[in-house]
A = this chain, B = another copy of it.
Amino acid sequence: MPPKQKSKAETAESMARRQREISVSEFFLKNRHLLGFDSPRKALMTTVKEAVDNALDACEEAHIVPEISVEIRKTGDARFRISVTDNGPGIVRKQIPRIFAKLLYGSKFHRLRMSRGQQGIGISASGMYGQLTTGSATEILSRTRSAKAAHNIRVQIDTRKNTPAILKDDQVDWRPEFFTSDDNGEQVESHVSRHGTCVSIEMEAAYVRGKLSVDEYLRQTAVVNPHLTLHYRVCSCLKVKENGAGADGVPEAEDAPWITFVRVNKHLPEPPREIQPHPHGVELGLLMQMLKDTGNRTLRSALQHDFSRVSSNMALQICERAGLNPKARPTRIAHQESEALFKAINETKLMRPPTDCLSPIGEEQILAGLRKEIDADFYTAVTRAPAVYRGNPFQIEVGVAYARPGVNKELNADDTVRLMRFANRVPLLYMGGACAITKAVSGVKWKNYGLSQPRGALPIGPMVVLVHMASVWVPFTSESKEAVAHYPEIVKEVTFALQECGRRLSVYLSRHRRQVEAERKKNYMTLYLPHLALGLKEVLELSDRKEKDIVSRLENMLERTHLET
Interface, chain A (partner B; CB < 8 A): 1-5, 7, 9-13, 15-16, 18-24, 26-27, 30-31, 33-34, 38, 58, 61-63, 89-92, 94-95, 98-99, 102, 104-107, 109-111, 119-120, 131-135, 144-146, 159, 195, 204, 266-268, 270-273, 283-286, 288-289, 338-339, 356, 431, 433-434, 473, 475-479, 485-487
Asked whether, in the complex, the Cβ of B61 is within 8 Å of the Cβ of A104, the reply is: no
Within the assembled complex, what's the spacing in Å between the Cα atoms of A376 and B12?
A: 43
Asked whether, in the complex, the Cβ of A22 is within 8 Å of the Cβ of B486, the reply is: no
Within the assembled complex, what's the spacing in Å between the Cα atoms of A135 and B342?
A: 11
Given contacts A22-B110, A104-B27, A135-B338, is CB(A91)–CB(B2) below 8 Å?
Answer: no
* Set of chain B residues within 8 Å of A120, measured between Cβ atoms: 22
Q: Which 6 A-B pairs have the closest CB atoms?
A: A9-B63, A132-B285, A12-B144, A18-B107, A22-B104, A7-B271
Asked whether, in the complex, the Cβ of B63 is within 8 Å of the Cβ of A2, the reply is: yes
Asked whether, in the complex, the Cβ of B27 is within 8 Å of the Cβ of A119, the reply is: yes
Asked whether, in the complex, the Cβ of A95 is within 8 Å of the Cβ of B19, the reply is: yes
Asked whether, in the complex, the Cβ of B109 is within 8 Å of the Cβ of A30, the reply is: yes
Given contacts A106-B19, A106-B22, is CB(A12)–CB(B89) below 8 Å?
Answer: yes
Within the assembled complex, what's the spacing in Å between the Cα atoms of A98 and B18?
A: 13
Asked whether, in the complex, the Cβ of B285 is within 8 Å of the Cβ of A133, the reply is: yes
Given contacts A15-B61, A22-B120, A283-B132, is CB(A270)–CB(B105) below 8 Å?
Answer: no
| Interface-central residue, A21, A91, A433, A479, by most chain B CB under 10 Å | A21
* Set of chain B residues within 8 Å of A13, measured between Cβ atoms: 92, 144, 146
Selected A-B contacts with CB under 8 Å, 25 pairs = A1-B268, A3-B63, A3-B271, A4-B270, A5-B270, A9-B63, A11-B62, A11-B145, A11-B146, A13-B144, A15-B62, A16-B91, A16-B92, A18-B107, A19-B105, A21-B102, A21-B105, A24-B24, A31-B119, A132-B283, A132-B284, A134-B284, A135-B284, A135-B285, A431-B434
Asked whether, in the complex, the Cβ of B106 is within 8 Å of the Cβ of A12, the reply is: no
Could you say how many copies of this chain the assembly holds? 2
The listed residue (B2, B10, B110, B475) touching A20 by CB distance below 8 A is B110
Asked whether, in the complex, the Cβ of A487 is within 8 Å of the Cβ of B38, the reply is: yes
The listed residue (B20, B30, B107, B433) touching A15 by CB distance below 8 A is B107
Within the assembled complex, what's the spacing in Å between the Cα atoms of A267 and B1?
A: 6
* Set of chain B residues within 8 Å of A22, measured between Cβ atoms: 104-106, 109-110, 119-120
The listed residue (B4, B95, B479) touching A16 by CB distance below 8 A is B95
* Set of chain B residues within 8 Å of A266, measured between Cβ atoms: 1
Asked whether, in the complex, the Cβ of B271 is within 8 Å of the Cβ of A5, the reply is: yes
| Interface-central residue, A33, A58, A487, by most chain B CB under 10 Å | A33
Within the assembled complex, what's the spacing in Å between the Cα atoms of A90 and B10?
A: 11
* Set of chain B residues within 8 Å of A5, measured between Cβ atoms: 270-271, 273, 356
* Set of chain B residues within 8 Å of A27, measured between Cβ atoms: 104, 109, 119
For A120, give the chain B residue with the smallest CB separation: B22
The listed residue (B62, B135, B144, B283) touching A9 by CB distance below 8 A is B62
* Set of chain B residues within 8 Å of A95, measured between Cβ atoms: 16, 19
Within the assembled complex, what's the spacing in Å between the Cα atoms of A22 and B122?
A: 13
Known: A11-B146, A24-B104. 19 other contacts (CB 8 A): A2-B63, A3-B271, A5-B356, A12-B89, A12-B90, A12-B145, A12-B146, A15-B89, A16-B95, A19-B98, A19-B105, A20-B107, A20-B109, A21-B98, A21-B105, A23-B104, A31-B475, A135-B285, A135-B338
Within the assembled complex, what's the spacing in Å between the Cα atoms of A438 and B19?
A: 34
* Set of chain B residues within 8 Å of A99, measured between Cβ atoms: 19
Within the assembled complex, what's the spacing in Å between the Cα atoms of A38 and B478?
A: 13
For A227, give the chain B residue with the smallest CB separation: B1
For A61, give the chain B residue with the smallest CB separation: B10
* Set of chain B residues within 8 Å of A4, measured between Cβ atoms: 270
Asked whether, in the complex, the Cβ of B107 is within 8 Å of the Cβ of A19, the reply is: yes
For A108, give the chain B residue with the smallest CB separation: B18
Within the assembled complex, what's the spacing in Å between the Cα atoms of A159 and B285?
A: 11
**How far, in Å, is A92 (CB) from chain B's closest CB?**
4
Asked whether, in the complex, the Cβ of B487 is within 8 Å of the Cβ of A58, the reply is: no
For A334, give the chain B residue with the smallest CB separation: B135
| Interface-central residue, A5, A13, A19, by most chain B CB under 10 Å | A19
| Interface-central residue, A104, A159, A268, by most chain B CB under 10 Å | A104
Within the assembled complex, what's the spacing in Å between the Cα atoms of A26 and B27?
A: 16
Within the assembled complex, what's the spacing in Å between the Cα atoms of A91 and B135?
A: 40
Within the assembled complex, what's the spacing in Å between the Cα atoms of A273 and B120?
A: 37
Within the assembled complex, what's the spacing in Å between the Cα atoms of A195 and B16?
A: 16
Asked whether, in the complex, the Cβ of B26 is within 8 Å of the Cβ of A109, the reply is: yes
* Set of chain B residues within 8 Å of A91, measured between Cβ atoms: 12, 15-16
Asked whether, in the complex, the Cβ of B486 is within 8 Å of the Cβ of A38, the reply is: yes
Asked whether, in the complex, the Cβ of B58 is within 8 Å of the Cβ of A15, the reply is: yes
For A477, give the chain B residue with the smallest CB separation: B478
Within the assembled complex, what's the spacing in Å between the Cα atoms of A111 and B104?
A: 24
* Set of chain B residues within 8 Å of A286, measured between Cβ atoms: 132
Asked whether, in the complex, the Cβ of A135 is within 8 Å of the Cβ of B268, the reply is: no
**How far, in Å, is A280 (CB) from chain B's closest CB?**
15
| Interface-central residue, A12, A33, A204, by most chain B CB under 10 Å | A12
**How far, in Å, is A153 (CB) from chain B's closest CB?**
14
